[in-house]
Structure 1
Amino acid sequence: MPHPTPYPVRLADEITRQLGQLADHLAHLPPHEATQVIARILDPDDGLLGGVTHLVAIGSVFAKVQAEGGALPAEVWLALGRASNELNDIALELDEHRETLWHVGTQSATQAAKPPAPAPLVVRHRR
């Protein structure tokens, strides 16, 4: 008799499926709703990006214990630790813009006294 798929694996699969649905919805939302969704995703405490960052950090702790016991190569732990740190840095950088996104997303079309002016796109790196 085959072993049933453990609940955490099914949960990860379901979350992955729902993320795909969210991305599909986001691609078709009106701008004010899309900015609200993005702002919620970027919330470092209750948002998706913070949750994924926390999940990778927990995975890194698990991998460290497993690497110390010889069950995993140390490279796996190091890669997860690096990923966790980079995700945290990205989340902190994006958090600076979350309030702006939320503000733009909560403005109704009738509140805007004038249409938004296009802004030149400038690339800047702080890393």
Structure 2
Amino acid sequence: MSEFPGASWLDRYAQRVNADAEMGVIGDWLSTTFTLTFGDARHALVVDKGKIVKIIASPRFDVRAPFGFRAPVEVWRKFLSPNPPPLYHDFFAMLMRVPEFVIEGDSLIAMQNARALHRMMNIMRETGAPNG
């Protein structure tokens, strides 16, 4: 079994982010690298003007990522489910009320880009849960 969520799911997610009309408008100011950690599986997403241009699996110290989001796989599965339980339906609700969903690093940079990140997380929910 592959690491959650798996390379094909992440690629599909990136394609959806990159094709999203709303991200085309609000993503112009989002150029950074951030991490998504699903249990033990960590990925760095390199974003340029709101487009995911590269996904790095298991990034090392040479990949600079000012911030990231980390949670156990069970939390991500709830977030990505078709009918998430209360508090797991929204990125900000999870940040405020789900202790296992953690923002790592420079939260100021994340919140300066909150609108675009919120849209990216909504696209993640729309992509749905991976099979793995």
TM-score (norm 1): 0.27
Q: Which has the higher helix share?
A: 1
Q: Which has the higher strand share?
A: 2
TM-score (norm 2): 0.26
